[in-house]
């Protein structure tokens, strides 16, 4: 039986891919934590011991370097964003990323905004849309409550990458018309709470929950806000749409992969505010149509198997 070793993960992409592999494919997930031992010697030992027909590594960082150094082949490097957007220019870690780009048998990127970066090093780099676990994230009808529009800020508070401050500044313009929930995580969470307070915007803070319970937060919202900096669809957006909720996020019209996405170039306060006010079931229907056409897990896994075969 063909065996896939999925090493590390990002936003549960690897876990979802493993879940939907064909029945004749065996998958093993080599995981690590962020602890010093686990992400160094611990993961090195696990990678050394695992035997598979293909090795699929998430993030082009130490896990990928170790697998390449240990001669694991064919090696699939899966870039998820920060490894190419920022780490590539780091004086030390950048060398690791470039080494991995050269040594992997195939390179996959998870969003269109980093495909151009990858292609500077690998002409054969390909974009593979992120899969959504539609057994976990599925539509439930909006519940009419007759009150103010319920908004969920679902991505982590990170001003430089996610533009959480833009969301807060947009919401303060309609603060009397919305009830805003925010999940308590992200390096700029305290700054976000302070900014909202200074603008007179009340935030209801929700505890961070396991991935399998995020659907409850989506279902309890009328509109979900994601990120407003990168111009690419994040997993929060995909999962929220899958749960039946319209999403407001910045999707750049410069990427042909998003030509069918119905809401593009929303990244300044006024546009974010207007999009929140007009978001409705009709917007969601068009977003959901895009999701089904472009993030169909069966199609994605079929393409992944082709990439695996091309790597031999």
Write out pLDDT tens, residues 112-167.
999 999 999 999 999 999 999 999 999 999 877 778 999 999 999 999 999 999 99
**Is residue 268 in a domain?**
yes
The verdict on 185 and 200 lying in the same domain is yes
The verdict on 68 and 9 lying in the same domain is yes
pLDDT of residue 38: 86
Averaged pLDDT score across all residues of the chain: 96
The verdict on 274 and 165 lying in the same domain is yes
pLDDT of residue 217: 98
pLDDT of residue 201: 97
- 288's CB contacts (< 8 A; 6+ apart) are 139, 241, 242, 244
| CA 139/CA 141 separation, integer angstroms | 7
pLDDT of residue 171: 98
CATH assignment at residue 78: 3.40.50.2000
| CA 220/CA 199 separation, integer angstroms | 25
- Which parts of the chain have pLDDT scores under 50? none
Burial of 43: CB neighbours in 10 Å, binned 0-12, 13-18, 19+: buried
pLDDT of residue 259: 95
**Is residue 53 in a domain?**
yes
**Is residue 63 in a domain?**
yes
pLDDT of residue 147: 84
pLDDT of residue 287: 98
- 227's CB contacts (< 8 A; 6+ apart) are 155, 161, 162, 163, 164, 234, 236, 237, 249, 250
3-state class (DSSP) for residue 304: helix
What would the pLDDT profile of 290-312 be if each residue is shown by its tens digit? 999 999 999 999 999 999 999 98
**Is residue 106 in a domain?**
yes
244 token code pair? 């039946």
The verdict on 110 and 127 lying in the same domain is yes
* Parallel, antiparallel or unpaired: strands 2-7 and 25-30: parallel
Domain containing residue 159: 149-294
| CA 15/CA 20 separation, integer angstroms | 9
The verdict on 302 and 212 lying in the same domain is no
The verdict on 159 and 287 lying in the same domain is yes
The verdict on 98 and 12 lying in the same domain is yes
The verdict on 155 and 116 lying in the same domain is no
The verdict on 197 and 288 lying in the same domain is yes
The verdict on 88 and 195 lying in the same domain is no
**Is residue 247 in a domain?**
yes
Instruction: Return phi, psi of residue 114, to 5°.
Output: -105, 0
Instruction: Return phi, psi of residue 58, to 5°.
Output: -95, 130
pLDDT of residue 128: 98
Number of helices (H) and strands (E) in the chain: give both, helices first.
13, 11
Residues 30/64, Cβ–Cβ less than 8 Å: no
pLDDT of residue 40: 87
The verdict on 122 and 233 lying in the same domain is no
Radius of gyration in angstroms for the set of CA atoms belonging to the chain, rounded to a whole number: 20
In the chain, the number of structural domains is: 2
**Is residue 264 in a domain?**
yes
Cα–Cα separations (whole angstroms), residue 33 to 108, 158, 213: 23, 21, 20
Q: Which residues of 205-230 are buried (b: 16+ CB within 10 A; e: fewer)?
A: ebeeeeeeebbebbbebbbbbbbbbb
User: pTM for the full model?
Assistant: 0.95
**Is residue 136 in a domain?**
no
β-bridge partners, 6: 29, 56
**Is residue 144 in a domain?**
no
pLDDT of residue 46: 96
The verdict on 29 and 87 lying in the same domain is yes
């Amino acid at each position: 039986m063909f065996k896939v070793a999925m090493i590390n993960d990002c936003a549960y992409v690897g876990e979802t891919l493993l879940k939907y592999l064909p029945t004749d494919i065996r998958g093993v997930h080599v995981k690590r934590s962020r602890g010093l031992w686990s992400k160094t010697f611990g993961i090195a030992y696990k990678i050394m011991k695992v035997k598979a027909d293909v090795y699929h590594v998430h993030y082009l960082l130490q896990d990928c370097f170790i697998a390449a150094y240990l001669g694991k082949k064919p090696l699939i490097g899966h870039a998820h964003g920060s490894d190419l957007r920022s780490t590539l220019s780091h004086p030390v870690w950048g060398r690791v990323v470039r080494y991995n780009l050269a040594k992997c048998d195939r390179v996959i990127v998870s969003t269109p905004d980093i495909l151009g970066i990858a292609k500077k090093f690998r002409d054969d780099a390909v974009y593979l849309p992120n899969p959504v676990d539609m057994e976990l994230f599925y539509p439930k009808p909006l519940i009419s409550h007759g009150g103010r529009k319920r908004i969920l800020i679902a991505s982590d508070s990170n001003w430089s990458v996610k533009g959480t401050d833009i969301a807060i500044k947009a919401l303060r313009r309609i603060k009397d018309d919305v009830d805003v929930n925010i999940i308590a995580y992200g390096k700029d969470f305290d700054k976000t709470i302070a900014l909202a307070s200074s603008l007179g915007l009340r935030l209801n803070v929700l505890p961070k929950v396991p991935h399998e319970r995020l659907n409850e937060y989506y279902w309890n919202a009328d509109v979900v806000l994601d990120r407003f900096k990168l111009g690419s669809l994040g997993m929060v957006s995909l999962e929220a749409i899958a749960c039946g909720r319209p999403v407001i996020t910045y999707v750049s019209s410069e990427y042909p992969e998003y030509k069918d996405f119905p809401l593009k170039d929303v990244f300044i306060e006024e546009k974010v505010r207007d999009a929140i006010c007009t978001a409705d079931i009709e917007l969601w229907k068009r977003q959901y149509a895009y999701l089904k056409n472009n993030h169909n897990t069966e199609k994605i896994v079929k393409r992944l198997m082709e990439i695996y075969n091309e790597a031999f």
